[in-house]
Structure 1
Amino acid sequence: MKPINQSAGAARAIELPSMSRRKLLLGMGAASAAAAVAIAPDAHGAAVGQALGFSGDRAENPELIVAYQKFNDACTRLEEARNSLEWLADEWRHQWPLAPEELLHGANAQDGRGTMPAERDIVGRYLIRDTSELTKRLAPKFRRETRNTCFAICAANEERKLLERWKRSTPTGRTEKALARNRAYRIKAIRECELRIQLAEQYEAETMRLRQVSGADAARLRVKDADLLLQKAADEVSKCQACTVAGLAMKADALTVTAGALMKITKSDESPLGQIARFIESVAEVAGRASA
């Protein structure tokens, strides 16, 4: 039996789908410059504003400036929460156990298409395993073709359900030989299921203990709360009217940070969504040059 405390230090973790760090830094870095131009635009900013139909000496909407500053603060808060979570993941990486090979199920669980839980690290990121060491269940051909992957893992509660089904089952067979073979298979399946339950209980207990003592669950909750705060702050920016090019930069910046993934998907589309995405990107670029 593989020791339950085998470290996950050699495994790689991949980020969950989330807002890009570049977009976060864009929002954090642009705030002071955009606000300064909004209050006292320079000649370049005024010229661009006039080209877009704005008055060169027009002041920005104070409500938008306040909302954008809150958005910038929310960007900073989320970045700090994420940095803290990454530090925690690195600090506890060598103490986090790998799931025993007996519990590993389907490969490529990082795609998120399976129904079984995927193996993850202490902060919830997918764990990518080196398959060369997994010789109990994986065929040599699979290990050669798939060098690294994330596996789904068997949970103790699901294995208990499976065990009950096996115990209630009644082997059948057309011949005495077939009946004996099916009875032996049932006994073997029950023993294997009982072993997986034992391993899963140990693994789940240890991972739960480590999440508690490390504060990982609380750290993940802080990231979630900070992300919700950022979404709310971006929405407030979107509701404020812009009066200058710098104001447009604020609104475009908030949208590209919170809807960056959607914009990337739709940017090349020929539908109105694609047109909107390209327009927002152009506004952000033009306003960014005006604020430089």
Structure 2
Amino acid sequence: MIINSHARQAPRYLERNQFWKGAIPDTNVLVTSCIADLEAAVAILREREVDVIASLGGDGTLHHLVNAMDTTRCSATILPLAGGTINGIARAFGFSGRSDQVFLRTLIADAMPARQQHMLRLEGAITRIGFTMAAGLGFAAARSYAVLPRRGTAAVIRSVVMAATGRLTHSGVEIALGSTEREYFDLVAAGTITEPFLWFRPFGRQPIGSAELGFTALKVPRSGLLLGCWPMLRGDSKNPGVQYFRAPQTQIDRCDGIVFDGELYEFDKTSSLILKIGPKINIMDAHALGRF
């Protein structure tokens, strides 16, 4: 198990409810306080040839975990425990319950079934893998959220509303849709999982295929987005300024930054990114284990 000591729910487990005690060896419970610690923890667990790595943290913890596993060629199955603030990725995979209950129920299961999940790979200004990213207005909204003194669902909604009503300064990006010429959009989002942001379904209603990325590209009308914001987030907007599409690879240009699994990456405004299908990772199958 890897525990991010800075994750929102980690202190209560570390101080009052160490549910892993007696269930797994203490030497395989690694508490981290920075990315370097996490990378070192992955290397240790890979050397010990563990089959499953439970991650107690939030979306950012999972983001850095899969990158460390990719770098070290660690093929262990990930059990995402919702120990952060939003926990969008853990929820997307069906692990929205309390971390202690999810962990212990998984441990006593007759089998530990895993599913394979394609990752989103970025190349260019950065080289990283992850689950979902957004640029343009999405980056501006995430940056607005990051500086709030109190975070959580209400703060997420506040930042979305600010973006929807045109109150956030942002830089758009250019992207080619299929074989067409490049177009300017205020927001581009991409991912490989269907519902990465709580109840939002930003990549359309159709399931994302195993070898393709889901995309949303958005042009903001002068009047703002508020009236069309909810259908867009639920994946069924009829607004002509919103486009959903699928592709194995594309490129975005003039990108000043992205939010990638909740982590912010800032670039200069001339940066380009190639978005493509990345490697597969193994994730514990919540549906096979039963509802959490």
- The verdict on a shared fold, with TM-score over 0.5 as the criterion, is no
The structure with the greater share of residues assigned to strand is 2
More helix by share: 1
Higher relative contact order (CA 8 A, sep 6+): 1
The structure having more radius of gyration, on CA atoms, is: 1
